[in-house]
Structure 1
Amino acid sequence: MTGPRDGGREAVGEQSASRRGRFGRWRDQAIALGWLALVWNLLWGQISWANLASGLLVGSAVLVFFPLPAVTFGGRLRPWALLVFASRFAAELVSASLHVARIAVQPGCRPRGAIIGVELRVRTDLNMALTAEAVTLVPGTLVLEMDRESATLYLHVLDTHGPAELVAARERTLALERRIVRAVGSAAELRRIDNPPVEKGTSP
């Protein structure tokens, strides 16, 4: 039998859960807006106040007119791991840009591309989106397709000369995923990335 006090507690609990749900949605929207603004600045190749303001405006328009599926952020932001991710990502950007520039100016150079499949270890929409965006921003790699069910990214890799370079490209992608998860992932996701990935076939 339920009394008035029990009913009052249930009502308070429902209101508290509703407030937490609204806060979670607002938090997820704010995180998505921040990532969209960051990607906008990286696409322009320069981080400035003007690009930041325009990135926030464009990101807001994307979230309003093209709403993304609900993505729950169950991780935790780790500042040191985020700093490690940012520094390593910047170094990879510089290294890959120099490599692509060398290919562009080298006389008679005919780069050989390949398509590889990389199965991610954390099968969440957020992790797939962040990893795909980061991979695409690095010159020389491009995400052609994403298989959401198997959490597989199909990448086009520029200038490959043998199986060893395909393996290296796959390992770079998994290392990038690992740094992202360490920066913003949950404890369960951190444990998951320590498991060995399943190899997928390649087609040079």
Structure 2
Amino acid sequence: MARFAISLVLLTLTFCAVLASFSPGDIALGLVISAGVLLVFRGFLFGGRPKPMPDLPTRLLYLPVFVWATLWNIIKGSFEVIAVVMHLKPLREPGIVAIPIGERTPTGVAVSALATTLSPGTYLVEVDHERGVWYVHALDARDPDAVRRDHEEFYQKYQKRVFP
């Protein structure tokens, strides 16, 4: 029930944001349409019977920390790219690094890939579920173990509590 309610609110907010109107009539229409979509596609969206969301309060508590850490990585990556583009720092050895998926869930892999790609200087190339790795192109891949260590440390410190 909680998952349905959260989905209903989020879909309604999305509907109103797309309309760029939060008038009472538009909110009511958004609620009706969102409820209809959720009821019609309930089996597909929730896998039949909705499962409870584990540790939702804990996830919400750590979400700002995860967002801040991601923003900090974006800032650091931006300065690194600026330094290379302005020839303040040499471009030494860009390359592709294989990073183990580890204990990440499919959602965790997607969020890790998104957080990595948002930060300038790195981006997702491919996820290979059969081999259990995801490939990232890094601006500085001289030490692939350091790149792997940085991604694992970010996951363990900031992401795991929010998007395992």
Please say whether Structure 1 and Structure 2 have the same fold, judged by a TM-score greater than 0.5. Answer: yes
Q: 1:86 to 1:73 in 2, by over 3 A?
A: farther
Q: Which runs of 4+ in 1 moved over 6 A?
A: 28-32
> What is the TM-score normalised by the length of structure 1?
0.52
2:17 pairs with 45, 53, 70, which one?
53
The percentage of counterpart residues that share the same residue type is 22
Mapped partners of 1:173, 1:74: distance in 2: 26
Q: Number of matched residues?
A: 133
Q: Which runs of 5+ in 2 are unaligned?
A: 21-36, 38-43
User: Looking at CA atoms only, which structure, 1 or 2, has the larger radius of gyration?
Assistant: 1
The corresponding residue for 2:30 is none
Aligned-pair CA distance for 1:94: 0.8
The corresponding residue for 1:145 is 126
Mapped partners of 1:169, 1:156: distance in 2: 10
> What is the TM-score normalised by the length of structure 2?
0.62
Instruction: Indicate the RMSD between aligned Cα atoms, in angstroms.
Output: 3.6
- Secondary structure of the residue that 1:117 maps to in structure 2? strand
- Secondary structure of the residue that 1:159 maps to in structure 2? coil
Aligned-pair CA distance for 1:116: 1.0
Provide, for residues 136-177 of structure 1, a one-character-per-residue CA deviation record: whole Å limited to 9, x for no partner. Answer: 1111111100012444211111133x33xx222111211232
Mapped partners of 1:157, 1:135: distance in 2: 10
Q: Which amino acid aligns with 1:169?
A: V
Aligned-pair CA distance for 1:123: 4.1
Q: Which runs of 5+ in 1 are unaligned?
A: 1-19, 38-51, 57-63, 186-204
Are 1:182 and 2:161 matched, yes or no? yes
Q: Is residue 75–residue 184 contact of structure 1 (8 Å, CA) maintained in 2? A: no
- Secondary structure of the residue that 1:145 maps to in structure 2? strand
Mapped partners of 2:131, 2:17: distance in 1: 36
Q: 1:150 to 1:110 in 2, by over 3 A?
A: closer
Provide, for residues 99-118 of structure 1, a one-character-per-residue CA deviation record: whole Å limited to 9, x for no partner. Answer: 10010011794442121111
